[in-house]
C-alpha cells in the first residue's frame, strides 16, 4: 500500500518520540513492502515562534490532503505560565481537531504484566486491566462560548452538547464494546449537569440497538475513585470531552507510566494519532523520553489504514522491549536506554522477527550490533 502521512512533531519531546515512531513505520514499510510518504508540518509553540500562528494554513491543508496524521506533543512553559497570553500553542491542536472533525478520541489503557511492579497501585488491583476510553473530542466546554468581563473579574465557559454529537461517538463506543468484553460505562455528572442528563438519555435510547452490550452509568467523581480501586472492572468507557481528558490522564498511571498511552482521534475524513503524554519540556533534547506511546500511536495508525498484521507486529515489538527492559528511565531506573536506542530496537525487531532470540541474548550480554 501507498500512504501519505503528515507528521507534526510539535513541541518539547514531540520531535524525539515522533522520530522513533517514524522509524517503526519505515521498518514496517520495508518489511511488508509498503510505501509511506512523510510530509512534515508545524503546529504549537514552534509554529507560533516561526509564524505567529499555532496552526498555519499550510499545516491544515497538508493534514486534510494526507491519509493519516502522526502528531508528537504540544505546549511550552513560556505560555503555560502566562495566563494573559492571547495566542497559545494548544489552540493549534484544538483548532485542528475541530477543523478536521476529529470527534472520537480512543485511548487504550493496559496493564502490562512485565510492568506491574512499576505501577503505584497494588498488583491485585490492576492485574488484567484493559480499558478503551472513548472521549468526545470536538464539543463540550472545550469549544463553548468563552467570556471574560470587561473588568476581568468574571469568567465564563459554556458547555453544550447536541444529541447528534453524542450519538455519533456512542455508536462507535458500542461497536467497540461488541468487539471486546461487551460492557460500556457512561461516565457523566447527571446528578448536576443538564448536558450529562442528555448524554444519559441519548445513550439509554441507543442501547436497544446493542442488546449484547451491558450498559452502566457512573458519576465522574465515583469513576475517578473506581479507576484506582478496581480498574479491571471497566471495558469501554464513554465520556464527554473534559471528563475524558481528566480520567484518561488518571488511568494512564495504572500501567506504570504515562509514556505508554497512545491515542487515535478519528473523524469522518481524517484521523490523527498521538501519545497522550504532554510535551515534557524538562526532558526536551535529552534523548530520555519514552517513545513507546508514540510508537503505539503509529500502530493505531496502521490499524486505521487497515494494516492489522503490521500493527500487531509493532505492538509485539513494544511488548518485547518492555519484557526485556529495553526501555527509558521512567520504566527502567537501573539500566535505562535512550529514546533513540529504544526506537532502534523496535525498528530492528520489526525487521528481524525471525532471529529474535539470538539477538535478544546478545543484547542482554551487551554484544548486539543494534544497541
Per CB under 6 A, residues contacting ligand IPM are 74-75, 90, 93-94, 245, 276
* Beta carbon nearer to ligand IPM, 101 or 325: 101
- Contacted by 56, from Mg ion, ligand IPM, none: CB < 5 to 8 Å by type: none
What is the DSSP secondary structure assignment for residue 258, as one 8-state letter?
Answer: G
Where along the sequence are the contacts to Mg ion (CB under 5 A)? 245
Q: Which residues are known catalytic residues?
A: 142, 189, 221, 245, 249
* Beta carbon nearer to ligand IPM, 158 or 312: 158
Shortest Å distance, C-beta 91 to ligand IPM: 9
Q: Which three cell numbers stand for residue 105?
A: 478520541
Shortest Å distance, C-beta 83 to ligand IPM: 15
Q: Which three cell numbers stand for residue 58?
A: 499550510
Q: Going by C-beta distance under 8 Å and a sequence separation of 6 or more, which residues neighbour residue 270?
A: 63, 64, 68, 69, 100, 101, 102
Strands (E), the chain: 2-10, 35-40, 68-73, 104-110, 130-136, 146-148, 155-157, 183-188, 214-219, 236-239, 262-266, 271-275
- Contacted by 25, from Mg ion, ligand IPM, none: CB < 5 to 8 Å by type: none
Shortest Å distance, C-beta 244 to Mg ion: 9
Sign of CA dihedral 111, 115, 118, 124: positive
* Beta carbon nearer to ligand IPM, 19 or 242: 242
- Contacted by 74, from ligand IPM, Mg ion, none: CB < 5 to 8 Å by type: ligand IPM
* Beta carbon nearer to ligand IPM, 275 or 291: 275
* Short-list 106, 100, 35, CA closest to 265: 106
- Contacted by 93, from ligand IPM, Mg ion, none: CB < 5 to 8 Å by type: ligand IPM
CB-CB contact of 336 with 328 (8 Å): yes
* Four-point Cα dihedral 251, 137, 68, 284, nearest 10: -50
Shortest Å distance, C-beta 14 to Mg ion: 14
* Beta carbon nearer to ligand IPM, 207 or 224: 224
Shortest Å distance, C-beta 158 to ligand IPM: 17
* Beta carbon nearer to Mg ion, 245 or 330: 245
User: Which residue number is nearest to ligand IPM in terms of Cβ?
Assistant: 90
Parallel, antiparallel, or unpaired: how do β-strands 146-148 and 262-266 relate? unpaired
Shortest Å distance, C-beta 90 to ligand IPM: 4
What is the DSSP secondary structure assignment for residue 336, as one 8-state letter?
Answer: P
Q: Is 31 left (phi over 0), alpha (psi -120 to 50) or beta?
A: alpha
- Contacted by 90, from ligand IPM, Mg ion, none: CB < 5 to 8 Å by type: ligand IPM
Parallel, antiparallel, or unpaired: how do β-strands 236-239 and 130-136 relate? parallel
Q: Give the Cα separation of 113 and 111 in Å (integer).
A: 6
Amino acid at each position: 500500500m501507498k500512504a501519505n502521512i503528515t507528521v507534526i512533531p510539535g513541541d518539547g519531546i514531540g520531535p524525539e518520540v515522533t522520530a522513533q515512531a517514524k522509524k517503526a513505520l519505515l521498518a514496517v514499510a520495508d518489511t511488508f513492502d509498503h510505501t509511506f510518504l512523510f510530509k512534515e508540518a508545524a503546529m504549537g509553540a514552534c509554529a507560533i515562534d516561526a509564524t505567529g500562528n499555532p496552526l498555519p494554513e499550510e499545516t491544515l491543508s497538508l493534514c486534510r490532503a494526507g491519509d493519516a496524521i502522526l502528531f508528537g506533543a504540544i505546549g511550552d512553559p513560556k505560555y503555560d505560565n502566562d495566563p494573559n497570553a492571547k495566542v497559545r500553542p494548544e489552540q493549534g491542536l484544538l483548532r485542528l481537531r475541530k477543523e478536521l472533525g476529529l470527534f472520537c478520541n480512543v485511548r487504550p489503557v493496559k496493564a502490562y504484566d512485565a510492568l506491574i511492579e512499576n505501577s503505584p497501585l497494588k498488583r491485585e488491583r490492576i492485574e488484567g486491566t484493559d480499558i478503551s476510553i472513548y472521549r468526545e473530542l470536538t464539543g463540550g466546554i472545550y469549544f463553548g462560548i468563552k467570556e471574560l468581563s470587561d473588568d476581568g473579574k468574571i469568567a465564563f465557559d459554556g458547555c453544550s452538547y447536541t444529541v447528534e454529537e453524542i450519538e455519533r461517538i456512542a455508536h462507535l463506543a458500542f461497536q467497540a464494546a461488541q468487539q471486546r468484553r461487551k460492557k460500556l460505562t457512561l461516565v457523566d455528572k447527571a446528578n448536576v449537569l443538564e448536558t450529562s442528563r442528555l448524554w444519559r438519555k441519548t445513550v439509554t435510547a441507543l442501547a436497544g440497538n446493542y442488546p449484547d452490550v451491558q450498559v452502566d452509568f457512573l458519576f465522574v467523581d465515583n469513576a475517578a475513585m473506581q479507576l484506582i480501586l478496581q480498574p479491571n472492572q471497566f471495558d469501554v468507557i464513554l465520556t464527554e470531552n473534559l471528563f475524558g481528558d481528566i480520567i484518561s490522564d488518571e488511568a494512564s498511571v495504572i500501567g506504570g507510566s504515562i509514556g505508554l498511552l497512545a491515542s487515535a482521534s478519528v473523524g469522518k475524513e481524517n484521523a490523527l494519532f498521538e501519545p497522550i503524554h504532554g510535551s515534557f519540556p524538562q526532558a526536551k533534547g535529552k534523548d530520555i523520553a519514552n517513545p513507546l506511546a508514540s510508537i503505539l500511536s503509529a500502530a493505531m495508525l496502521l490499524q486505521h489504514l487497515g494494516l492489522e498484521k503490521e500493527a500487531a507486529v509493532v505492538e509485539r515489538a513494544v511488548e518485547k522491549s518492555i519484557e526485556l527492559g529495553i526501555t527509558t528511565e521512567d520504566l527502567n531506573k537501573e539500566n535505562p536506554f535512550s529514546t533513540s536506542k529504544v526506537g532502534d530496537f523496535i525498528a530492528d525487531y520489526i525487521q528481524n522477527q525471525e532471529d529474535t532470540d539470538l539477538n535478544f541474548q546478545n543484547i542482554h550480554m551487551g554484544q548486539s550490533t543494534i544497541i
